[in-house]
Chain A
Amino acid sequence: MISFINANCTFRKNAGVKNLNFSIDDGEFVFLTGPSGAGKSTILRLIYMDLFPEKGKVLIRDFDSTRIRDREIPFLRRKVGMIFQDYQLLKDRNVYQNIALALYASHYKTREIKSRVYSILNQVGLGHRVHHRPMELSGGEQQRVAIARALVKEPIVLLADEPTGNLDPRVSIELINLLNKINKKGTAVIVATHNYSLIKRVPGARLIQINEGEITSIT
C-alpha cells in the first residue's frame, strides 16, 4: 500500500531522510521511532505529500510522488487521515463542525455527513460533546476529535505524529488503545513517537527505527 523506494528528502540543512526503502501493507500497525529530529515527521509528510523526495519515490496505492500533480494531492489526502500533537482543530467551530468539514471537503451529502459524524463520535466516545468547542475539551478529548475527523472519511491509513506528546500517561494509553481498536477494524495506522512505553501496548506492531534520517532497524 505504501512504498518508499530509495527516497531522499532534505528540506532543511541536516534535516530530512536518506535512502529510505520500506513498505507498509494494508491494515498494518507501524511505529516510527527515534529521537527528536531523526526524520519521523518527514516520513509522515512524505506520505501525505506535504514534502516530495528529491531522489527516489514514494508510492501510496496509485499515487506516485514523482507523477502526482498539485491538484491531485487533495484526493490523496482524502485517503490518508492525519493527527498531530497539537490536534490542529479549528477553535472557532464546534466538534461536529470540525469533523463535518472533512466530509464537506470530500463532497458528501448533508444527510450522510450527519450520520457519519454522529457514528464516528460514538466510536471515539465523544457522542456527548458534539456541540462543544475544542477549547472546552481536555487534551485527550481534543485528540479523539482529531482522530474522529481523520477517520470519518474512512482512510486507508491513519498517520499520527507524536499523538500523545501533549497528553498525560493514562490518556496516552487510552489513545493508543483507541488507535489499536481502529487498526483492528482494518485501517493501517502509522504512529511516529519517541515514547517507547507505548510500543509495548500494541503487540504485533512493526517497529521502524530511524536515526539521523536513516532507518537503523525494521522489526
Chain B
Amino acid sequence: MTILWFLFKEGFKGLIRSKYSGAFSIIIIAISIMLVGFGYVIARDTLFMVENIRAQFDVDIFIKQTVSRDDIAAFEKKLKKMNEIDHLIYISPEEAAKKFKKEFGEDIFDILDYNPLPPSFTISFTPIYRNLISVEAIANILQSDPVVDEVKYRKNFLIILEKYQRIILFTVLGIFAVLTLISIILTSNSIKMTIFARQDIISTMKLIGATNRFIKIPFVIEGTLEGGLGSLLAALIIYGMFYLQNTYFQSFFDYTVVVSYRFYVALLILGTFLGLIGSRRAIRKFLN
C-alpha cells in the first residue's frame, strides 16, 4: 500500500514538477484532441449532408389512364408491402393538375380542355436501397406491372451523387485518419519530451535499485493525467466554439452543430488513453 500510494503521489507530483514541459504536453494533447474532435464532426456532418441529399431522391410511377380506381388501390397496397419503399404519395389527376398550375402558372384545362395528366405515385426508398443498382432493379420490376405506364427517375443525378459520394467519403475518412494519426504522434512525442527532460530521475532510480515497474508507473500516471487534462481542455474549447457557432454564427454559416455529451466523453477517454499509451511507449524506450 505504501508503495502504491507513493507511486501515485509521484505521478501527480511529476506533473507539477515537470512545469513547462508538462504544460506544453497538455497543450499539444489538447490541440491533437481538438483536431480529432473537429475532424470527426466535419466527417460526420459531411456524410450526413450527402446522405440527406440521397434521401431526397424519389421515383415517379405514372399509371395508365385506363386503369380503374380499384386497380390503383390494389397497386398502392402492393407498393406499401414492398420493404424497399420507405415512403409513397399518391397523386391523383386532379392533384397533378393543381400541381401543374402551381408550377407553371397556367390551368391545364385552359390549354387542352381536358386533363391529360395521369394518376401517379411518388416513392422514396429506405436507406439501403438508395443506390443506382437497387433503384434500377426496382424500377424495372414496377415497369413490368400492367397498371404502370412509365417509371421516371433522375438516373444521372444518382450516378453523379454516387461518384462524388465515394470521393467525399474517402476524402473525409482520409482526413479523419490523418488527423488521428497526427494526434497520436504529437501526443506520444510531447510525452517523450517530458520524460526526456527528466532523464536524470530515471538514471538515479536505476542506480538506487528501482525496478523498471517502479520507475515506469509514476511516468505512466503522469502521462495519463496529461492526456486527461489535455482532452478536458480540448473538450472545453470545442464546446465553447460550438456554443459560439450555434449562438452567434448560426445564421451566418447556416449550420448548427449538434453533438451529444457522449462526444465529449469520447474525447476525454481518447485523450486519457493516448496519454496512457504514449507514456508507456515513451518510458519503455528510455528504460531500454
Which A residues lie at the B interface, using CB under 8 A? Answer: 48, 71, 74-78, 82, 88-92, 101-102, 104-110, 113, 149, 153
Chain A CB within 10 A, most for which of B2, B201, B207, B208:
B208
Q: How many whole Å from A206's CB to the nearest CB in chain B?
A: 25
15 extra A-B contacts, CB within 8 A, seeds A104-B6, A107-B2, A113-B2: A74-B212, A74-B214, A78-B208, A101-B204, A101-B208, A102-B209, A104-B2, A104-B214, A105-B205, A105-B209, A105-B210, A105-B211, A110-B2, A149-B208, A153-B208
With CB as the reference atom, state the residue of chain A lying closest to B288. A70
Question: Contact between A101 and B209 (Cβ–Cβ < 8 Å)?
Answer: no
The chain B residue with its CB closest to the CB of A105 is: B210
Q: Does B206 contact A (CB under 8 A)?
A: yes
Q: Check if B207 sits within 8 Å of A153, measured CB to CB.
A: no
- CB neighbours (8 Å) of B6 from chain A are 104
Of the candidates B17, B200, B203, B208, which one forms a contact with A105 in the assembled complex, judged by CB atoms under 8 Å apart? B208
CB-nearest residue of chain B relative to A84? B207
Interface flag for B160 (CB, 8 Å) = no
Residue B112 at the chain A interface, CB threshold 8 Å = no
Q: How far is it, in angstroms, between the C-alpha of A105 and the C-alpha of B215 when the chains are bound?
A: 9
Contact A71 B211 (CB under 8 A): yes
Within the complex, the shortest CB–CB distance from A184 to chain B, in Å, comes to 24
* A88 contacts B207, C-beta separation under 8 Å: yes
B3 touches A48 (CB 8 A): no
Distance between Cα atoms of A162 and B208 in the complex (Å): 18
> Which A residues lie within 8 Å of B212 (CB)?
71, 74
Number of A-B residue pairs having CB atoms within 8 Å of each other in the complex: 53
Q: Which residues of chain A come closer than 8 Å to B2, judged between CB atoms?
A: 104, 107-110, 113
Query: What 0/1 pattern do residues 202 to 228 of B give for CB contact below 8 A with A?
Result: 011111111110100000000000000
Most buried by B among A78, A88, A104, A108: A104
Q: What are 19 A-B contacts with C-beta separation under 8 Å?
A: A71-B211, A71-B212, A74-B209, A75-B209, A77-B206, A77-B208, A88-B203, A90-B204, A101-B205, A102-B208, A104-B2, A105-B205, A105-B211, A105-B214, A106-B209, A107-B3, A108-B2, A109-B2, A153-B209
Whether A104 touches B3, Cβ cut-off 8 Å, given contacts A88-B203, A90-B201, is yes
* Binary contact readout B161-184 vs A (1 if CB under 8 angstroms, 0 otherwise): 000000000000000000000000
Residues B207 and A48 in contact, CB atoms below 8 Å apart: yes
Kindly list chain A residues whose C-beta atoms are within 8 Å of the C-beta of B207: 48, 77, 82, 88
Question: Contacts of B209 on A, CB cut-off 8 Å?
Answer: 74-78, 102, 105-106, 153
A109 nearest CB neighbor, chain B only: B2
Q: How far is the CB of B13 from chain A (nearest CB, A)?
A: 9
Contacts of A109 in B (CB 8 A): 2
Q: How far is the CA of A110 from the CA of B208 in the complex (A)?
A: 17
B17, B203, B205, B211 pick with most chain A CB within 10 angstroms? B211
Closest to A72 in B: B211
CB contacts under 8 Å to A, within B85-129, are: none
Residues of chain B from 1 to 41 with CB closer than 8 A to chain A in the complex: 2-3, 6, 17
Q: Which residue in chain B gives the minimum CB-CB distance to A76?
A: B209
Question: Which residues in A have their C-beta under 8 angstroms from that of B214?
Answer: 74, 104-105
Q: What's the Cα separation between A90 and B200 when bound, in Å?
A: 7
State whether B3 touches A74 (Cβ < 8 A). no
Contacts of B211 in A (CB 8 A): 71, 74, 105
Residue on B nearest A103 in the bound complex, by CB:
B208
Q: How far is the CB of A186 from chain B (nearest CB, A)?
A: 20
Q: State how many angstroms separate the Cβ of A113 from the closest Cβ of chain B.
A: 8
Assembly CA distance A75 to B206 (angstroms): 11
Q: Which residue of A lies closest to B7 (CB)?
A: A104
Determine the chain B residues whose CB is within 8 A of the CB of A90 once the complex forms.
200-201, 204
